Amino acid sequence: MATARTTKINRAATSPRHDLEHYCRDLNGWPRSWRGLEKDLPPGEQLVALFRPFLEYLAASDLSPKTIQKHVDNLWALGGEFIRDLHNDPSLRKKPVDRVLSKMIEYCRLLLYHGI
């Protein structure tokens, strides 16, 4: 009778670590890619400043490069949605970016939770 062999994967050996620039090419250019108007640049730059610590954490993590890239891509998309929300509701421009982002994430979580 043959026995099944268990294989251990050594992530350190199979997944080389990359720096943040590998995953976020032109991170400082993200605000320009999101903008519709010049006044979108300051909130976009503030978003990048808020995202950067998490992005650096991801790049230094043991997650697979594919997983890290998915998170990076999702943050880029979130930034675009954030700027779009500023256009749809100009009153948001008067509020702190971190507070608007927090409310946006909270609202999206509720939508996902309720399957909307």
Domain spans, the chain: 18-113
Q: How confident is the model at residue 108 (pLDDT cuts 50, 70, 90)?
A: confident
Question: 4 phi and psi, to 5 degrees?
Answer: -75, 140
* 3 three-state secondary structure: coil
The CA R_g of the chain, rounded to the nearest whole Å, is 19
Indicate the residue type of 29.
Answer: G
Model confidence, pTM: 0.77
What are phi and psi for residue 59, nearest 5 degrees?
-60, -30
**What is d(CA 57, CA 54) in angstroms, rounded to the nearest whole number?**
5
Written as one string, the DSSP assignment of 10-57 is: -HHHHS----HHHHSTTGGGHHHHH-SSGGGHHHHHHHHHHHHHHHHH
1-5, 8-12, 78-82, 102-106: least confident range: 8-12
Beta strand segments in the chain, E: none
pLDDT digits (tens, 9 = 90+) for 23-71: 888 999 999 999 999 999 999 999 999 999 999 999 999 999 999 999 9
Contact status, residue 68 vs residue 59, Cβ threshold 8 Å: yes
